[in-house]
Structure 1
């Protein structure tokens, strides 16, 4: 009888150790996160910001006044669009490439608020892109502005909150966590 209790006692003590050795816990870095969470931001393209009704719509003939300068007459400057958003993206942590249009720069060339736009010169030339192709970004920590000519990735939480600035109206905003140098895949 003493032997049976001893085997039972040893078994109950050793079983968790043997089980743990056969199936060790995975480190946090190897755990898969759902796209759109802080651990794995969902990578978006500018077309993803359009609501489905605008993604495949034929382009409209522009009713806007034509730009005065040749460099403002390309297809990007003639965009028609809306302030309609893709509501499915609201609240996701995303990664979006674009160009920085600062809304203010401090003495150390750092920016904490800016517009992220899909092409260089947007919002600096007239007309700006449609609101659903402009994203207002408020960084948690100011970032050093290297160049307005170089695109960046912005990582942060996307919101369908509209923001107006002196340059343009944005249909989206991002609570920016970080920026990364843009490199083509």
Structure 2
């Protein structure tokens, strides 16, 4: 009987070790009040120089329009997600590379070209990814899967404010048939 219990325990542990992390939807990163506010938000004007592709890099992913609804500036998080192993699909905004030219730090955003869209996503829809192994990012319009431990962590730099970070264990391109 003890032997059977030991075998079952080992099988369960092995299954948990090799299981894929739970896929997370971007809206799950927002508290319920923010999701509701986003649903109720009026149409946003994209009539700016940046919308025509005249983007000079000023502001990057940081919110420049101070007249938007509060949800567009929200850095409110979901504390229950802190420390969870997750899988999140999104688009990269490169930040740092290693000596081999591999991207080791980048922001992950929910839609392609977020760094040139107006308005950019709120901080609770921007995730800093740290991936020491690195990945070659040839196309910021090519989606990625990022697997790792999610942290509630406020990150701010010249390009963006993020409310979460991921210590990535694995980063891979999403193949066309998966989209």
**CA distance in structure 1 between the aligned counterparts of 2:13 and 2:144, rounded to whole angstroms:** 26
Equivalent of residue 109 in structure 2, options 95, 117, 123:
117
- Which residues of structure 1 form unaligned runs of 5+? 1-15
Over alpha carbons, which structure has the higher Rg? 1
Structure 1 position 54 matched with structure 2 position 34: yes
Aligned residues: 160
Structure 1 position 162 matched with structure 2 position 154: yes
Change (3 A) 1:134 1:141: same
- Which residues of structure 2 form unaligned runs of 5+? 54-62
Give the drift of 1:32.
Answer: 4.1
Q: Secondary structure, in 3 states, of the residue corresponding to 2:33?
A: helix
Aligned residue in 2 for 1:67? 48
RMSD value, Cα = 3.2
More strand by share: 2
TM (norm. structure 1) is 0.71
Encode CA deviations 1:32-60: one digit per residue, 9 max, x unaligned.
43xxx884412101011011112233432
Asked whether the equivalents of residues 62 and 80 of structure 1 are also in contact (C-alpha less than 8 Å), the reply is no
Equivalent of residue 104 in structure 1, options 96, 110, 118:
96
TM (norm. structure 2) is 0.73
Q: Secondary structure, in 3 states, of the residue corresponding to 1:56?
A: helix
Give the drift of 1:64.
Answer: 7.8
